[in-house]
Amino acid sequence: MNKIFLYNTLGREKQEFVPINEGNVGMYCCGPTVYNYAHIGNLRSYFFEDILKRVLIYNGYDVTHIVNITDVGHLVSDDDEGEDKMEKGSKREGKTVRELADFYEKAFIKDITDLNILSPTKWCKATDNIKEQIGLVECLEKKGFTYKTSDGVYFDTSKFPDYGKLALLDIEGLEEGRRISFSNEKKNKTDFALWKFSPEGQKRQMEWDSPWGTGFPGWHVECSAMSMKFLGNTFDIHCGGVDHIPIHHTNEIAQAEACTGKQFVRYWLHGEFLIEEKGKMSKSKEEFLRLPVMIEKGYSPMDYRYFLLMTHYRKKIKFTFENLDAARNGLNNLKDKISEVRKLSEDKIVQSEKTTEYKSKFTECINDDLNVSEGLALLWEVLKSDNITPGEKLFLINDFDRVLGLRLNEVPAAIAGEIPQEIFELIEKRRQAKQLRDFALADRIRDDIKVKGYEVLDKKGGEVEIKKI
């Protein structure tokens, strides 16, 4: 196998990736809290994780990929105070928490499917794994890491000497802050809730009995408990957005390692944020851009994917519609080139020494901490080269797209000269209609295309061919 280098937040350096079990990777990614739609910033995180997974698969690994759905316990403040985001959302929308969770989970899965993000091996919901979460808190209690306050059971971070190693936290600095901002019964500023009690005299929609009283698990507990349940006490990779480093992932490590006495995760990978002109894009701002809104404005999900591909996952991206337009133009130009290659190759794919050479150049880019923008640049180089035959180009387009995920195998061949952009757009709409199983709409679009002078022929693997009539 080729060497893969990944930037490990734990240690802050690029390290060679060596899995625990040869040929196999266990990977856990923090998923959405389903109290609202995902915004395009959230989707950037899932896109980066998709690239990581595709790179591992491209290199020949089997990946067991677990993603959680948070449907309880995530409070509006990271300080274990305030309302549960789910219960708050349920009041806002007049739905039960279950209805709310199901609705936003569906919307989320639709978004990631549109973005061509590969489905995880398993989705796991916090509310389906309460027993395991109580088990983890019991384990911590038995080992002396917990204490009880009037509102819950807390983790005593002063008892875990390695606390904050991921985030390189300055605990003493934080403790100084304590005098000013610290008012509840927590012993240390960094202590966090493992189990919260339902408020006195109130019945929550989501609550369970536990050895400490009726209530619900703290948000961090779900990820430690479920990742270890599905991947073992020590596993290979854990990912999320950079905002998770100082609190959520730091606490996940403390809980897991305090209980098992073993290293929890070997490689921690974090994706940088998508920002807007006015700063960080955030769900709690109630005003954010979603993928379906982008589609309504006439962009395709692949335009956004191409936009994301142009920047390394550890760099911030500023989102503007001008930048998105530039990405759309780039993708359209790429599709035009590919159309031409298809036509010239007559859809014959050729594998040769040259393709092997380019494949290894591509591997070198993507294995260097997921440098897919360089991989994309290499695809452009291939398409422009006079020394590579159309058949070889077609092989490389399909091969690189296993990682880029731009659905390039669906770009139709330009059989009869230049095909107008409008026709490509109709074909993309038809593809989406077919994916949603709206065949009546797909047929109507085919008729529209015919009126405009082109015939669409469906081929295997979702490919289409266009003929001028």
- CB nearer to Zn ion: pick between 45 and 300: 45
Sole window of 38-46, 165-173, 201-209, 250-258 interacting with ligand AMP (rule: CB under 6 A)? 38-46
Sole window of 54-62, 280-288, 354-362, 397-405 interacting with ligand AMP (rule: CB under 6 A)? 280-288
Least separation in angstroms between CB 187 and Zn ion: 24
DSSP 68-106: EEB-S--BSSTTS-S-BHHHHHHHHHT--HHHHHHHHHH
Q: Which of 106, 262, 280, 285 binds ligand AMP (CB under 6 A)?
A: 280
466 vs 91: CA distance, rounded Å: 51
The entry of Zn ion, ligand AMP, none that residue 241 binds, CB within 5 to 8 Å by partner kind? ligand AMP
Q: Is 75 in the site for Zn ion (CB under 5 A)?
A: no
Least separation in angstroms between CB 248 and Zn ion: 5
Bridge-partner residues for 414, per DSSP? 466
Least separation in angstroms between CB 451 and ligand AMP: 42
Q: Is 175 in the site for ligand AMP (CB under 6 A)?
A: no
Q: Which of 89, 215, 217, 241 binds ligand AMP (CB under 6 A)?
A: 241
Question: Measured at CB, which residue is nearest to ligand AMP?
Answer: 241
Least separation in angstroms between CB 70 and Zn ion: 7
Query: 417: which 2 tokens?
Result: 């000269």
The entry of Zn ion, ligand AMP, none that residue 215 binds, CB within 5 to 8 Å by partner kind? none
Least separation in angstroms between CB 395 and ligand AMP: 34
Burial class (CB in 10 A: 0-12, 13-18, 19+), 111: buried
In the chain, the amino acid numbered 403 is V
Residue 64 host element (H or E): strand 62-69
Q: Is 30 in the site for Zn ion (CB under 5 A)?
A: yes
The entry of Zn ion, ligand AMP, none that residue 223 binds, CB within 5 to 8 Å by partner kind? Zn ion
Sole window of 40-48, 90-98, 107-115, 217-225 interacting with Zn ion (rule: CB under 5 A)? 217-225
What b/e string do you get for 153-179 counting C-beta neighbours within 10 Å, with b at 16 or more?
Answer: bbbbbebbeebbebbebeeeebeeeee
Q: Which of 6, 7, 17, 42 binds ligand AMP (CB under 6 A)?
A: 42
Q: Is 281 in the site for ligand AMP (CB under 6 A)?
A: yes
Q: How far is CA 197 from CA 34, 97, 157, 286, in A?
A: 22, 18, 20, 28
Least separation in angstroms between CB 221 and ligand AMP: 15
DSSP 330-393: HHHHHHHHHHHHHHHHTT-----HHHHHHHHHHHHHHTBTS-HHHHHHHHHHHHH-SSS-HHHH
Q: Count CB neighbours of 364 within 10 A.
A: 15
DSSP 306-317: HHHHTS-TTS-E
Q: Which of 166, 223, 291, 294 binds Zn ion (CB under 5 A)?
A: 223
The answer to whether the beta carbons of residues 239 and 46 sit under 8 Å apart is: no
Q: Is 273 in the site for ligand AMP (CB under 6 A)?
A: yes
Query: 7: which 2 tokens?
Result: 């930037």
Q: In the complex, which residues of this chain contact ligand AMP (CB under 6 A)?
A: 30, 32-33, 41-42, 44-45, 240-241, 243-244, 273-274, 280-281, 283
